[in-house]
Amino acid sequence: MRVVMFGYQTWGHRTLKALLDSEHDVVMVVTHPKSEHAYEKIWSDSVAELAEEHGVPVVIRNRPDDEELFQRLKDADPDIIVANNWRTWIPPRIYTLPRHGTLNVHDSLLPKYAGFSPLIWALINGEPEVGVTAHMMDEVLDAGDIVDQRAVAVGPTDTATDLFHKTVDLIAPVTIGALDAIASGRTEFTKQDRSQATFFHKRAEDDIRINWDWPAEVLERLVRAQSAPYPAAFTFHKGKRLEVLAAVVSEGRYGGTPGRVFYREGEGVVIVAGADARTGRNHGLAITRVRTEDGHELAATDYFTAMGGYLTNRP
């Protein structure tokens, strides 16, 4: 099939590579300009450069809503558009233009985790698995019929970085599997159960700040979700920002005021956290590694020696 690809960053790059390695013909690529947003500078392999290396025409747009792009798409005469990590709304006259419409590849197990940063949100929320879904685009974001979907388990110590690498390896089989199904003549695919749908927004500074009223189990997942190269989860100690780079749920149960620097346990320093509303259990978060406001990274036991006090949600 003749394919136009809409994509950005490493997800789009991996999708384009899969298409170039397949029997399908990539006739044009549409991608975003480089961004200075913290999350968009992560996993930022260039879709444009890969396309140019293979002689594929490239169009750079923030939004695909102008007449020039529409005419270029018509001239390209695609059988299908494949979109992955396209960051803005694609209007109906674009996604319905090809003979087979538009296939969107999304890094979650739809209908759950539509929207932005699904791997991070899924890890924070304690999901047992994550994955990749290829679905037909319609007027509702990430809501079209599912053509192909594959999952991987979330391990007990997996970080968001681990999950990125696990799921990015699913892009090629999911994308090409879906295209091959469409090319074979299939037109009926799996409807999404919209009663199970969840939607999450793009992550921002407030989303990575530690709230010590949360249970230790949630805070430990937040720390893993904000693994390098993502911005680290942070708190404040004596008015200064402190990044938490590694932590585990304490073995013992610790009560008291959330945020209190309380006790050394193993290789970590226990901070009192909120109780789990479901179980009533109250464990601490045993922080093992931190980074200070001036960029020094060190063991939490070294940092908190003789420091004491409280960790706070705000300065």
Distance CA 94, CA 187 (A): 20
DSSP E strand stretches across the chain: 2-7, 25-31, 58-60, 80-84, 102-106, 114-115, 129-136, 146-153, 199-200, 233-237, 240-253, 261-265, 268-272, 283-291, 297-299, 311-312
pLDDT, residue 263, reads: 83
Structure-token match 């961004």, residue found: 35
| Residue 148 Cα distances to 54, 98, 301, angstroms | 27, 20, 48
> Which range (175-179, 256-260, 275-279) has the least confidence?
275-279
Residue of 278 and 141 predicted with greater confidence: 141
Query: Could you give the percent of the chain with pLDDT greater than 70?
Result: 96
pLDDT, residue 45, reads: 87
Q: By the 8 A CB rule, do 289 and 300 touch?
A: yes
pLDDT, residue 38, reads: 61
pLDDT, residue 307, reads: 67
Q: By the 8 A CB rule, do 108 and 118 touch?
A: yes
| Selection from 67, 79, 81 nearest residue 31 by Cα | 81
β-pair type (261-265, 268-272) = antiparallel
- Is the model's pLDDT at 150 over the cut of 70? yes
> Which range (34-38, 132-136, 287-291, 298-302) has the least confidence?
34-38
pTM of the model: 0.91
Asked if residue 111 has a cis previous peptide bond (ω within 30° of 0), the answer is yes
Reported confidence tier of residue 161, pLDDT bands at 50, 70, 90: very high
Q: How many angstroms separate the first and last alpha carbons of the chain?
A: 57
pLDDT digits (tens, 9 = 90+) for 59-113: 999 999 999 999 999 999 999 999 999 989 999 999 999 999 999 999 999 999 9
Torsion sign, CA atoms 249, 253, 254, 255: positive
Q: Name the strand (E) or helix (H) holding 301.
A: helix 300-304
Residue 274 DSSP one-character state: B
pLDDT, residue 308, reads: 72
